Structure 1
Amino acid sequence: MQIPALLTGLQLTDSAFPSGYYTLSHGLEGFQQSRAVSPRTLPALLHDLLRHGAGPADATALALAHRAVSAGDWEQLVAVERRLYVAKLGRESRQAAVRTGRQLLDLAGEVYGTPEIERYRELYRSSRVHGCQPVVAAAVHAGNGVTARQAVTCELFAFAASFTGAALRLRLTDHRRAQVVLHGAAPVIEEAVEAALRRELADLGSCTPLADVMAGRHERADARLFAS
């Protein structure tokens, strides 16, 4: 990979990139409110969400959309985003994907301004896409020469980093232990990347029933620190 493309992937993964990830707990706050997670079980929860949630859904959508953008098949990209959107059963998860995706789209137009980003923006203006973050990210990565493998790896690492950051704010871990948890997720991220790159459109969709229940409870909580 060329150095400029690699730097783009790293920039988008950086927690300082203002895409709105810091407002999300990826369901963790729901687990914490229900006392269904502890510092000891935190790594297992992250691994499960990577394997059965973010990997089969968002990462798979990103891989498929990246493939579509690289081939110039924008109809296929629309099909990928539509399937991802309906696969998100909870209101919060759909809203989070769209809100962070629109923020990324706005920033990407200003920061990178590639033809791929502008083409996606045209689809968005015509209401053919919702602006789901993984699909927007695919257009950004592909437009900047980041390979599908690198793009999916970056996005799953960003998910894991955001999850552990939320755990810090929820006092489920400390800064040192958070790094241990994040490092321990590396083999699972690699596994999830490989699986995402092999899936087809019909395979897109997560299976995290307990997380869906916790998300539903979180929507009705009296007080919330995070948007999801």
Structure 2
Amino acid sequence: MDKTLSLFQLCDSNFPTGAFSHSFGLESYIQDGAVYDEVTFSKWLEVYLHEQLVYSDGLAASLVYEALEANNLEKIWELDRKITVQNLARETREGSARMGERMVTIAETLYEAPILTLYKKRIKGKQSFGNPAIVFTMVGHFLQVPKETTLLYYLYSTIASLVQNAVRAIPLGQTVGQKIIYTFQSELTRAVKSITNLSEDEFGIVSPGLELSQMQHERLNIRIFMS
């Protein structure tokens, strides 16, 4: 079996991690009237990718991959804590942890990687929080998929989930959603290049506007997403 294709299974928007329940602040922009069609959503998605995802999950995935290469598990547990505590919005922070816990449970049954078993045990024992980017990277490294490809696939999986959520929430047509995913291929490649040029000191440097929208989501009167 092609190991790269095996990793791609985690990119399926139907993979049951609970990502369909989270908009990560998008719903706040929709209710404010700032995002309402293909053009405005694509602009939001571009900002989310390059101003938040690159500096949070993306950089964390890169650093975790390097730590796995060096067999430095303590570094991974440190990154697990950092990516959780630097996430200021409660809903987003808790949602990421739930998604991470769900993903590691499913991934462990599929890939039987010792590192996943250990991570799952730490999460259950309240020693670690859990994060989908870390789980995804563990699987990529276990399957011996190159770091850049692992990063690209993780970013793709996140963007694809957000597009499917936008199709429901704005709403957009399914064809429009697929068009946006296709258009974003070059943006994903550019994001991976950005991540590989970042240092750990830049971890967590995200857009204040996106963080505020994630905090504001807690106070929306009517909503279909958990974050």
The TM-score with structure 2 as length reference comes to 0.93
* Mapped contact 1:62–1:152 kept (Cα < 8 A): yes
* Mapped contact 1:114–1:144 kept (Cα < 8 A): no
**Counterparts of 1:140 and 1:94, CA distance in 2:** 22
Write out per-residue CA displacement over residues 106-135 of structure 1, whole angstroms, 9 at most, x where no aligned residue: 111111111221232343344332112211
Partner of 2:62: 63
Partner of 2:148: 149
Q: CA deviation at 1:51?
A: 0.3
**Counterparts of 2:189 and 2:211, CA distance in 1:** 24
Structure 1 moving runs of 4+ over 6 Å? none
Partner of 1:168: 167
Write out per-residue CA displacement over residues 146-184 of structure 1, whole angstroms, 9 at most, x where no aligned residue: 221111111111111111111110134211111221122
Identity within the alignment, %: 25
Superposed CA RMSD = 1.5
* Mapped contact 2:4–2:143 kept (Cα < 8 A): no
Q: CA deviation at 1:63?
A: 1.0
Q: Secondary structure at the residue paired with 1:72?
A: coil
* Mapped contact 1:69–1:138 kept (Cα < 8 A): no
Write out per-residue CA displacement over residues 12-35 of structure 1, whole angstroms, 9 at most, x where no aligned residue: 001121111111112211110111
How many pairs align? 226
Q: Secondary structure at the residue paired with 1:41?
A: helix
| Residue pairs, 1:59-208, within 5 angstroms | 59-208=58-207
The TM-score with structure 1 as length reference comes to 0.93
Q: CA deviation at 1:91?
A: 0.5
Partner of 2:208: 209
Partner of 2:36: 38
Where do 5+ consecutive residues of structure 2 fail to align?
none
Partner of 1:27: 25
